[in-house]
Chain A
């Protein structure tokens, strides 16, 4: 039963592990893109400028109310077209095709970004007002205030929420297998198709996802402990 997982050309062991690596890579790059989007739109939501607020609210409402699969189809079928359209404005007329990894990262990053926006907005809101006032009193502004005083606190508070976003993002990357990116899901489909052993390969895929979830849980727990040094733990309150 296990010979199908042999390494090298006779089995699917190394291919499945490469698929797992691809899942981790595309999840991590989507999470990073999502955090950048999240910082941007959280700033929009917290600003007093009406048009920015409306834009950010529309974005999060759409992503949270529309199936992820539709967003992925939009970018898969329309992504290259959009890039070429923008390139045309800058005077480039050639054909551009985005690869599956880029499209997947943009699609899952856009979805992940909506969740990160809410997490970051909540974290900024939970920083005490006095911190802003104290910073301003000390003559800090711009980077000094936000980069040195507010950001470290936001990062600490947002970390558990970002951990949840990571789990969602990890699972969402399974959907981009429909666009042809060979990650766990796609790889197990290919292997199941050519060996006629779908049960074994989907079970292997389940185990791979659980292992990645478990390991990342441990990492996030460690990070949370590191960043909350010097703070009273929840249990002590």
Chain B
């Protein structure tokens, strides 16, 4: 163990934390919006909505994230149509390609969590709400949504951890976040174990904070009694 190296590299690696957190939070927020849309499409009952939503989720869940990242970063840039379009200033940046890919990925995975949450809301609640004279939109906003949030929270906490882990892949398209910096130091110093311990601990701490925060939110929101 080279403790001095670990100490020095710690201060280099923590410089990557802001980028990791930034990419994770932007894509989580955008991905959540996408997930809600996809989940509502899946449960809409209309074939023109459910089929595209189903295949979107199938496509994203069936392929590796790295491949999706390459597809967006290298694949799309091949066409002059895209290179000349207004999206090019965004699509040529690895930063935005990373965010777009992570958004799409978490959108697909979270849509399943949200769908499960919505389906877990008891029919009795919906009927009771109708009996009280609430219309469909009010029922969704006041009854279905709060229960869904509570039911989906534990699974969504897992998804957040997966997002932090997944964000390490953007280091492959040249972005210097935690893993990117760690890799650079490993190839310079050839001390894989030491750097792994430092970078790994940083990830564990970030994820531990997420676990604590989600646990706190779960307690705050209370439990939903079935039926």
Contact A198 B75 (CB under 8 A): yes
Would you give 25 A-B contacts (Cβ < 8 Å), ordered by A?
Answer: A65-B203, A65-B207, A66-B204, A67-B164, A67-B203, A69-B168, A73-B192, A73-B196, A77-B192, A78-B193, A81-B192, A167-B61, A167-B62, A185-B66, A188-B67, A189-B70, A192-B75, A199-B76, A202-B74, A203-B75, A205-B67, A206-B71, A210-B59, A210-B62, A210-B63
Write the A175-196 contact mask toward B (1 if CB under 8 angstroms, else 0).
1011000001100110010001
In the bound assembly, the distance between CA atoms of A175 and B164 in angstroms comes to 16
8 nearest A-B residue pairs (beta carbon): A174-B64, A67-B168, A78-B192, A77-B192, A198-B74, A171-B64, A74-B196, A199-B75
In the bound assembly, the distance between CA atoms of A174 and B166 in angstroms comes to 13
Give the chain B neighbours of A77 by CB distance below 8 A: 186-187, 190, 192
Known pairs A171-B65, A178-B172, A185-B66; A66 contacts B200 (CB<8 A) = yes
Interface SS, B side: helix
Contact A73 B183 (CB under 8 A): yes
In the bound assembly, the distance between CA atoms of A209 and B70 in angstroms comes to 14
| Total interface residues in chain A, CB < 8 Å | 41
In the bound assembly, the distance between CA atoms of A149 and B184 in angstroms comes to 51
- Give the shortest distance, in Å, between A129 (CB) and chain B (any CB): 26
Known pairs A70-B196, A74-B196, A77-B190; A65 contacts B161 (CB<8 A) = yes
Write the A46-85 contact mask toward B (1 if CB under 8 angstroms, else 0).
0000000000000001101111111101101110010000
- Give the shortest distance, in Å, between B132 (CB) and chain A (any CB): 34
In the bound assembly, the distance between CA atoms of A64 and B161 in angstroms comes to 9
Say if the beta carbon of A102 comes within 8 Å of chain B: no
Q: Which residues from 197 to 219 on chain B have a C-beta closer than 8 Å to any C-beta of chain A? A: 199-200, 203-204, 207-208
- Give the shortest distance, in Å, between A65 (CB) and chain B (any CB): 4
Give the chain A neighbours of B79 by CB distance below 8 A: 199
Residues of A within 8 A of B (CB): 61-62, 64-71, 73-74, 76-78, 81, 167, 171-175, 177-178, 184-185, 188-189, 192, 196-199, 202-203, 205-206, 209-210, 213-214
In the bound assembly, the distance between CA atoms of A202 and B190 in angstroms comes to 32
Say if the beta carbon of B169 comes within 8 Å of chain A: yes
| Total interface residues in chain B, CB < 8 Å | 41
Known pairs A73-B192, A77-B186, A77-B190; A206 contacts B204 (CB<8 A) = no
- Give the shortest distance, in Å, between B166 (CB) and chain A (any CB): 8
Partner of A65, one of B76, B171, B204: B204
In the bound assembly, the distance between CA atoms of A175 and B69 in angstroms comes to 12
Contact B182 A70 (CB under 8 A): yes
- Give the shortest distance, in Å, between A29 (CB) and chain B (any CB): 18
Contact A185 B67 (CB under 8 A): yes
In the bound assembly, the distance between CA atoms of A210 and B78 in angstroms comes to 23
Contact A209 B62 (CB under 8 A): yes
New contact pairs (7) apart from A77-B190, A178-B172, CB-CB < 8 Å: A73-B182, A172-B64, A198-B70, A198-B74, A202-B71, A203-B71, A210-B59
In the bound assembly, the distance between CA atoms of A218 and B192 in angstroms comes to 40
Say if the beta carbon of B150 comes within 8 Å of chain A: no
Write the B152-178 contact mask toward A (1 if CB under 8 angstroms, else 0).
000000000100111111011000000
Contact B78 A209 (CB under 8 A): no
Contact B66 A197 (CB under 8 A): no
Give the chain B neighbours of A192 by CB distance below 8 A: 74-75
Give the chain A neighbours of B186 by CB distance below 8 A: 73, 77
Give the chain B neighbours of A214 by CB distance below 8 A: 62
Give the chain B neighbours of A174 by CB distance below 8 A: 64-67
Partner of A62, one of B61, B161, B168, B200: B200
